[in-house]
Structure 1
Amino acid sequence: MLHMIKLAVGCPTLEVLAERMRRERVGGHAVVHTRTMPRRADEILAGGSIYRVMDGMLLCRQPIIGLESCQRGDGSTGTLIVVSDEIIPVQPRAMRPFQGWRYMTPKDAPADLGENGVGDGIADLPPALRRELAELALI
């Protein structure tokens, strides 16, 4: 299994991401647009998630359902990353901006908030406070 990391450009909060996911649908599922098909698609489709970076913080993940080729507005080919509607908050982690997407192994992935006591109670904090605490390396 393998995960992906991608910036959620223009999404400062999980609520804004959720609204975007409700608008951009293909075949009844939320999608994330990207230019290229991952070479390690089989590993991603074996249970991977897409982790989202918002304003310099890795804040959530969405399980990946599928990968589909598509035609972009300019006529070039692209890829749709088909994701679950479920947005799962994770233990926040600072991350520098990058272009495209990156692979991430399960051992490097942050834990889901509230999972097995990890971040117990942190998920109940307002997102802005979670971000501030993470930036101060307090969570």
Structure 2
Amino acid sequence: MDNYVNLVKLSVGTESVETLAAWQDMRRAQMADGLPRHVTRMWPKREAEILAGGSIYWVIKGVIQCRQRILRLDEVIGEDGIRRCAIVLDPEIHRTVAATKRAFQGWRYLKAEDTPSDLPKSRANDDALPDDLNQALAEIGVL
């Protein structure tokens, strides 16, 4: 039995896994440790479970398409003086089996039974399907 929990987050404005990776590469070049991060207002209450091996699953265009391991949670104080949580990520992006996900705000915990499997490394560079076909196939459980 796994003793960790995952997060799921919409990647707003992202067109593909490649554009997510490019955006993160640009941003992490500005970080002293070179690691990508996602800053959020809320601090996860289940921090210990997340840090025990959890990942963040990215929803792109209504479909979970990839994940990244969560390395740590850093406190960040914004220019407005408000405490925020920086979810620090492993730069390696793992493509997953497509799974549809309705829109939501913020991030959510992702139950183990709802976690899509990673795609085999041999399929990681497959040509991406058109968004509408990808979503339709995910809805019927083909991908």
Scaled by the length of structure 1, the TM-score of the pair is 0.87
Report Cα offsets for 1:45-82 as digits up to 9, x if no partner: 00000000011111000000000110124331111000
Deviation at 1:42, TM superposition (A): 0.2
Counterpart for residue 99 of structure 2: 93
Pair 1:32-2:38 in alignment: yes
Is 1:45–1:65's contact at 8 Å kept on the other side of the alignment?
yes
* Greater alpha carbon shift after TM alignment, 80-89 vs 100-109: 100-109
Alignment of 1:16-31 (within 5 A): 16-25=19-28, 26=31, 27-31=33-37
What SS does the aligned partner of 1:4 have? strand
Tell me, yes or no, if the aligned pair for 2:62 and 2:100 is still in contact at 8 Å.
yes
Q: Helix, strand or coil: the match of 2:129?
A: helix
Identity of aligned residues (%): 36
Does 1:45 find its partner at 2:51? yes
Matched, 1:13 2:16: yes
Moved over 4 A (4+): none
Question: Could you say what the CA RMSD is over the residues aligned between the two structures, in angstroms?
Answer: 1.9
Query: Is the contact made by 2:7 and 2:109 (CA closer than 8 Å) also made in structure 1?
Result: yes
**CA–CA separation in structure 2 for the residues paired with 1:38 and 1:133:** 31
Q: Secondary structure at the match of 1:36?
A: coil
Counterparts of 2:39 and 2:59, CA distance in 1:
15
Match status 1:3 vs 2:12 = no
Residue 128 (structure 1) aligns with: 129
Supply the distance in 1 between the matched residues of 2:117 and 2:128 (Cα, whole angstroms). Answer: 16
Aligned residue number for residue 105 of structure 1: 111
Structure 1 position 61 matched with structure 2 position 67: yes
Q: Partners of 2:6 and 2:95 in 1: how far apart?
A: 15
- Map Cα deviations across residues 76-107 of structure 1 (whole Å, 9 max, x no partner): 11110000010100000111110010001223
In the alignment, is the contact (CA less than 8 A) between 1:122 and 1:130 conserved in 2? Answer: no
Partner of 1:128, secondary structure, is: coil
SS of the residue 1:132 aligns to: helix
Size of the alignment, in residue pairs? 134
TM-fit CA distance, 1:108: 1.9
Q: For the Cα contact (< 8 Å) 1:113–1:123, is it kept in 2?
A: yes
Alpha-carbon deviation of 1:124?
A: 4.4
